[in-house]
Amino acid sequence: AQSVSQHNHHVILSEAASLELGCNYSYGGTVNLFWYVQYPGQHLQLLLKYFSGDPLVKGIKGFEAEFIKSKFSFNLRKPSVQWSDTAEYFCAVRDTGNQFYFGTGTSLTVIP
Amino acid sequence: DSGVTQTPKHLITATGQRVTLRCSPRSGDLSVYWYQQSLDQGLQFLIQYYNGEERAKGNILERFSAQQFPDLHSELNLSSLELGDSALYFCASSVGDNWGVNTEAFFGQGTRLTVV
């Protein structure tokens, strides 16, 4: 089974700062990759996804992520965060068994 | 709105009791996943069903069980409840079991279970 590691458990940034959240998965092979966001009190919503093709994917709200196959990584980035980005962020991997594996999440707090 | 419906939204019950959580997947989705989210353990995969059949098990306790019915809705049964079972329980669905279909998981709003 896959394991997904998110290196940052809690990140605190000021508005307009740049964001990068790390995500690594445990082994290669064909995978789909996702970032989900959970706003306070809400369910998980898809932020962006990678299935194939261009390893740089763009999602909603100005987020993007880069798939680096050689590093088993799928880091999430945003050039300038806003207070409304305060949320929990989850990286996920879907394997060929149609299983979704989630990281433990990174809590992002953006200070106005 | 993800199209995944979970009921009830909140549940408060006493230790030792049994509860049933219900999930209706998105129209057309055959796979249903159950997850438990607690503060200390993050998002834990419990179990997956595909078209009525159990497909994968994660960290699901023996006191917990689930099933998926012919109409594809799913129920998660939690029995002999303990204080530590208090958590947010999410259901997710995806379109199927075929790797050839690119798909993400769609999550419901969750059921917040409080055991007192």
Q: pLDDT tens digits for B52-64?
A: 999 889 889 999 9
d(CA A16, CA A111): 10
C-alpha B36/C-alpha B43 separation (Å) is 6
Q: How confident is the model at residue B100 (pLDDT cuts 50, 70, 90)?
A: low
Instruction: Pick the residue from chain B with its C-alpha nearest to A94.
Output: B104
Would you state the pLDDT for residue A31?
A: 87
Which residue in B56, B27, B43 sits closest to A43, CA to CA? B43
Whether A47 contacts A37, CB under 8 Å:
yes
Residues in B whose CB is inside 8 Å of some CB of A read 2, 31, 33, 35, 42-43, 45, 48, 50, 55-56, 90, 92, 94, 96-99, 102-110
How confident is the prediction for chain B on average, in pLDDT? 92
Taking only the tens place, the pLDDT of each residue in B68-84 is: 999 999 999 999 999 99
Searching chain A, which residue's CA lies closest to the CA of residue B42? A104
Query: Looking at the predicted structure, is the pLDDT value of residue B113 above 70?
Result: yes
Supply the DSSP string of A24-90, one letter for each residue: EES--SS-EEEEEEE-TTS-EEEEEEE-SS-SEEE-GGG-EEEEEGGGTEEEEEESS--GGG-EEEE
**Residue B40's pLDDT is what?**
73
Beta pairing partners, A58? A64
Q: Which of B32, B50, B104 would best serve as a mutation to test chain A binding (most A beta carbons within 10 A)?
A: B104
**pLDDT of the residue at A59:** 95
Q: How far is the alpha carbon of A28 from chain B, nearest alpha carbon, in Å?
A: 16
Percent share of chain A, pLDDT over 90: 76
Q: How far is A35 from chain B (nearest CA, A)?
A: 10
CB contact under 8 A, B56 and A99: yes
Q: Mean pLDDT, to the nearest integer, of A11-32?
A: 92
pLDDT score recorded for residue A96: 81
- Preceding peptide of A112 cis, ω within 30°: no
Which of A7, A100, A107 is the best mutation test for B, with the most CBs of B within 10 A? A100
Q: Would you say residue B99 has pLDDT above 70?
A: no
Examine the pLDDT at B1 and tell me if it is beyond 90. no
CA distance B36 to chain A (A): 12
CA distances (Å), origin B93, targets A35, A85, A99, B9: 16, 25, 11, 17
> Once rounded to an integer, what is the mean pLDDT over residues B34-40?
87
pLDDT at B96 over 80: no
Instruction: Decide: helix, strand or coil at residue B3.
Output: coil
Closest-CA distance of chain A to residue B23, Å? 14
Of A34, A35, A24, A5, nearest to A70 by C-alpha is A24
Across A2-11, A89-98, B71-80, the highest mean pLDDT is recorded for B71-80
Higher-pLDDT residue of A52, B23:
B23
